[in-house]
Amino acid sequence: MPTQEEMKAVLRAYVDGFANDDAESVIALFAEDAVVEDPVGTPEKRGLEEIGKFYRDAVASGAKLTLDGPPRGSQGNGAAMAFTIDLPALNLSIKAVDVFTFDDAGKIAVMRAYWGPDDMKST
């Protein structure tokens, strides 16, 4: 199981990948058979092919993430962070919470994102 510090470093690398327009660095954080539900209530993306496409599109959109406070750990293999997504090209800002479960190798096994229509704002 990854340490709390290792999980939080992954969450920060996830934010940094968007900042650096580096989708591949974000995708490399995920396990081969990872599951992404973004946002919760929409169909899951499963495996690196689907997840890779999702993050390549997201990073290409120009999305930038700003943490709303520090990432949180747990007593197990889970971690979470609250942040704001800015999408300047769409004049949109989204408030989200992402929740992560890690595998023993320290890769993201599951990511579920909490944001809905009411969490988007024109900027």
**Residue 9 within binding range of its own copies, rule CB under 8 A:** no
Cβ at position 22, least distance to its own copies in Å: 25
Residues 101-120 that bind its own copies (CB under 8 A): 112-119
Residues 83-102 that bind its own copies (CB under 8 A): 84, 95-97, 99
55 given a catalytic annotation: no
Residue 8 CA to chain centroid, in angstroms?
Answer: 12
104: exposed, middle or buried (C-beta count within 10 Å: 0-12, 13-18, 19+)? exposed
Query: Does the footprint of its own copies cover residue 42 (CB under 8 A)?
Result: yes
Spell out the residues 6+ positions from residue 95 whose beta carbon is closer than 8 angstroms to its own: 68, 82, 83, 84, 85, 115, 119, 121
Phi, psi of 121 (to 5 degrees): -140, 140
* Beta carbon nearer to its own copies, 62 or 116: 116
- Known active-site residue 14: yes
Neighbours of 44 (CB within 10 A): 15
By CB under 8 A, residue 39 contacts its own copies: yes
Catalytic residues: 14, 38
Which residues of this protein are in contact with its own copies, per CB under 8 A?
4-5, 8, 39-42, 68-70, 72-82, 84, 95-97, 99, 112-119
